[in-house]
Amino acid sequence: MLTRYMDGCFGMGKFATPLTRGVDCPYLATYVDWHFLLESQAPRTLHDAFCVFEQNKGLPLRRHHSDFISQYFGGVVETVLVFRSVLTLFNYDYVLDVIFHPSGAIQVKFHATGYISSAFFFGTAQKYGNQVRENTLGTVHTHSAHYKVDLDVGGTTP
């Protein structure tokens, strides 16, 4: 995975950080190590780089309760499979989720967290952000994530 950040380009994957049980992922999630060869002559291992867990979406996928003529109930919980990693760049942490739905749909989520980018507040600085403390300016900026997906899994021939 590559990113453009501060007019530079580098692989975000090398900035993955170990996941913390019970915070980044459910405590009982399956944690997976990442073995990679990047900017080195020897392979490296990042322990607990990914986690995989099932998540109840909180709404039934399907349900029906009948008390007319016959009495029955049928329902299915929507449970998804989540594959998660967290990348740290400077003061930001990015939580990346790939979510697999029972319908076959694949959803990708990107969450920005961490600490705000700030500067000393003085003069006309408010043109460039919002005052968040007495002498602190929270700078105006954006976070964007772009994904390129190659769906030619089985090749390009029909």
Catalytic, out of 7, 67, 150, 152? 7
Does the active-site annotation cover 7? yes
Does the active-site annotation cover 115? no
d(CA 154, CA 131) in angstroms, rounded, equals 53
**48 neighbors 35 (Cβ within 8 angstroms):** no
Catalytic, out of 31, 92, 93, 97? 92
b (16+ CB within 10 A) / e for 75-101 = eeeeebebbbbbbeeeeebbbbebbee
Q: Report in angstroms the alpha-carbon separations of 7 from 4, 15, 133.
A: 6, 17, 29
* Residue owning tokens 């980018």: 117
Active site positions, annotated:
7, 92
